[in-house]
């Protein structure tokens, strides 16, 4: 398998962290933004959206980061990162959809107009804080959800948010930050 990635961004880091955390046999092809490989004919054949990440598994190609996380967790069940019982799986899906819409929009709102994002922060951080009341990870055990959600809060914009009123979220972020996959995908700008 091969991952085409714009490494530093949260949408891509979530997959790289998952691969590295579980030592999965997936080649990571880190693309440069400037080179615009994502605009080539060959790349657009894999993903007509022209975006990364894309996973290539033989003749099969897959785009959308959360779909890729679930595919990897299914192909490598030893990761134990995706429940197979219907309710456990539905619970994971719920949080993945929440991330792809509400969580990402909260981060974007905070980046664009921090003073206007207060309501959004309160709602989303409040519910996440409650979810983490008596468990270390969002769905109990470490799952694809933690890889899907945390990179945005650990990234440039998300890390500027004040999590003081959400101690469970802060503790969970610290926990994620220390996972092997996230330690190994800390972005180091070239020349550092
Ligand atoms: N919803 C998509 C978003 C993918 C996405 O927006 N990727 C960005 C990098 S974070 C990208 O490839 N941008 C390059 C471009 O649009 O030209 C996912 O989760 O995979």
DSSP classification of residue 32: P
Sole residue written with tokens 């990635």? 5
Whether the CB of 111 sits within 6 Å of ligand 1: no
- The number of folded domains in the chain is 2
Query: In a structure prediction context, what are the per-residue pLDDT tens digits for the chain, which is 192 residues long?
Result: 999 999 989 999 999 999 999 999 999 999 999 999 999 999 999 999 999 999 999 999 999 999 999 999 999 999 999 999 999 999 999 999 999 999 999 999 999 999 899 999 999 999 999 999 999 999 999 999 999 999 999 999 999 999 999 999 999 999 999 999 999 999 876 655
Lookup: tokens for 41: 């004919």
User: What gap in Å lies between CA 14 and CA 62, rounded to an integer?
Assistant: 15
DSSP state of 143: -
Classify residue 191: in a domain, yes or no. no
* Last-in-domain residue among 79, 114, 144: 79
Residue nearest to atom 9 of ligand 1 (CA): 52
Residue 30 belongs to a domain: yes
Residue owning the nearest CA to atom 11 of ligand 1:
51
- Model pLDDT, residue 187: 82
Cα-to-centroid distance, 153 and ligand 1 (Å): 17
If asked whether residues 74 and 114 sit together in one domain, one would say no
Provide the CATH number for the domain around residue 27.
3.40.30.10
Quote the pLDDT of residue 145. Answer: 98
User: Is-above-0.95 flag for pTM?
Assistant: yes
Which of 65, 34, 63 shows the shortest CA–CA distance to 50? 63
Structure tokens at 39: 């605009």
Question: The domain containing residue 165 runs over which residues?
Answer: 86-182
DSSP-derived secondary structure for 99-129 = IIIIIHHHHHHHHH-GGG-HHHHHHHHHHHH
The residue out of 19, 50, 79 marking a domain boundary is: 79
Residue 190 within any structural domain of the chain = no
Same structural domain, 108 and 167: yes
φ/ψ of residue 174, rounded to 5: -60, -40
11 within ligand 1 shell (Cβ under 6 A): yes
């Amino acid at each position: 398998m091969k991952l085409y990635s714009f490494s530093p961004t949260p949408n891509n880091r979530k997959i790289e962290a998952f691969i590295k955390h579980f030592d999965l046999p997936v080649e990571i092809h880190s693309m440069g933004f400037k080179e615009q490989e994502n605009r080539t004919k060959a790349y657009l054949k894999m993903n007509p959206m022209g975006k990364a990440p894309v996973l290539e598994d033989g003749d099969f190609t897959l785009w959308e980061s959360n779909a890729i996380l679930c595919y990897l967790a299914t192909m490598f069940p030893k990761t134990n990162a995706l429940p197979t019982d219907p309710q456990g799986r539905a619970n994971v899906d719920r949080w993945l959809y929440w991330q792809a819409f509400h969580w990402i929009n909260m981060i974007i709102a905070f980046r664009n107009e921090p003073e206007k994002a207060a309501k959004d922060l309160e709602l989303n951080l409040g519910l996440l804080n409650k979810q983490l009341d008596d468990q270390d990870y969002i769905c109990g055990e470490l799952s694809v959800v933690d890889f899907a959600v945390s990179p945005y809060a650990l990234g440039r914009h998300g890390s500027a948010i004040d999590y003081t009123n959400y101690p469970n979220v802060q503790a969970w972020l610290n926990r994620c930050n220390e996972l092997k996959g996230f330690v190994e995908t800390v972005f180091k700008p070239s020349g550092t």
